[in-house]
Amino acid sequence: MIQVSNLTKYYGGKRALGPVSFEIDKGETVGFLGLNGAGKTTALRILACDLRPTAGAVSVGGIDALANPHEVRRRIGFLPETPPLYPEMTVQAFLGFVCDLREVASSDKKAKIGDALGLTDLTAVAGEPIGTLSHGYRQRVGVAQAIVHRPQLVILDEPTRGLDPRQIVEMRKLIHELKDKHTVLLSSHMLSEVSQTCDRLLVLGRGQIVGSGTEAELGALQEPTFSVELTVRVPDGKDGGAAAVLAALGGIDGLLGKSVPTERGDGWDLSISSKRDVRAEVSRAVIGAGLDLLRLDARAVDLENTFLRLVAAPPAAAPAPAPKE
């Protein structure tokens, strides 16, 4: 569905994206994941034929986007970060306008608008002016305008931006429903968002793809790591306080920093990051030192750690584009 090869975008002398190469199959839901400024929006705007890349090739549905952007525009639906809406129009009239812009046949218009309203759960507010709707509803209208003409490719830039937790859940559900009929490409800086809605992730860091794959595949990129958190109390009558706690755990690999008093002041919180599960050693060390072990939690590495590690990696050097003739 999408083939991208060595895509690069410079703003003046500053590289915003690339070179990046990737492919997306028909029917896939792929998430661009990256911190702010990673190049997600630039990549999506290029795919939506709004921005022209400085270098590289883009093909959507077998059509060269650089040679024929107009044909590609016919095949996509795009929700930018700020939904492109006309506040004075009603939802229904706005979707009708979008259908006209997207060259939907008059005979199909009513059915397609009805489908988009139903899918985005906007039927109840179809007659309301967009300007009177809440932020969550406006975001839904933004999604509706991206899908009303039933494009092959739906591009959603930060679709959950500014939504409250309930609206985020509803938006996730909506994206899941889109997966049945469209190839979906979305972006987010929220890991949980992308991992819950997408089949595959493309992690962008400083304009380049630093990781690609499913959640499990990305997790496997990192050596197993265990994060152990514990709370230790120094019993009454025993001297030493924090120093006694640190002395007891001195032999454990991966002890992070210093101990911190608990909120209630009844002990000390500590963290350990290790390549193996050290819970048994920790408990023996604490009890052996005559201290009370109040809490011991351990969790394996998660996608969040992988994401942070990937985006923190230094970018590969890329040559500047040749000057335009």
- Contacts to other proteins by CB under 8 A: 48-52, 69-71, 73-74, 76, 78, 80-86, 88-89, 97-98, 100-103, 145
Nearer of residues 148 and 311 to other proteins, judged by Cβ = 148
Q: How far is the CB of 325 from other proteins (least distance, A)?
A: 16
Q: How far is the CB of 98 from other proteins (least distance, A)?
A: 7
Q: How far is the CB of 63 from other proteins (least distance, A)?
A: 12
CA dihedral 227→233→239→241, nearest 10 degrees, is 50
Q: How far is the CB of 71 from other proteins (least distance, A)?
A: 8
Backbone angles phi, psi at 179, to 5 degrees: -60, -25
Q: If you search the block for the tokens 């049945």, which residue do you land on? A: 180
Nearer of residues 144 and 218 to other proteins, judged by Cβ = 144
| Token pair belonging to 43 | 């990549």
Question: Rounded to whole angstroms, how far apart are CA atoms 139 and 36?
Answer: 20
Q: How far is the CB of 27 from other proteins (least distance, A)?
A: 22
Nearer of residues 82 and 134 to other proteins, judged by Cβ = 82
Nearer of residues 34 and 142 to other proteins, judged by Cβ = 142
The one-letter amino acid at 19:
P
Nearer of residues 92 and 274 to other proteins, judged by Cβ = 92
CB 303 within 8 A of CB 219: yes
Q: How far is the CB of 59 from other proteins (least distance, A)?
A: 16
Nearer of residues 97 and 224 to other proteins, judged by Cβ = 97
| Token pair belonging to 84 | 């492109």
Nearer of residues 149 and 200 to other proteins, judged by Cβ = 149
DSSP 6-60: EEEEEETTEEEEEEEEEEE-TT-EEEEEE-TTSSHHHHHHHHTTSS--SEEEEEE
Residue burial 272-296, b: 16+ Cβ < 10 Å; e: rest: bbbeeebbebbeebbeebebebeee
CB 238 within 8 A of CB 290: yes
DSSP category for residue 130: G
% helix / strand / coil in the chain, to the nearest 5?
35, 30, 35
Helix (H, G, I), strand (E, B) or coil at 276: coil
Nearer of residues 142 and 211 to other proteins, judged by Cβ = 142
Q: How far is the CB of 212 from other proteins (least distance, A)?
A: 26
Q: How far is the CB of 50 from other proteins (least distance, A)?
A: 5
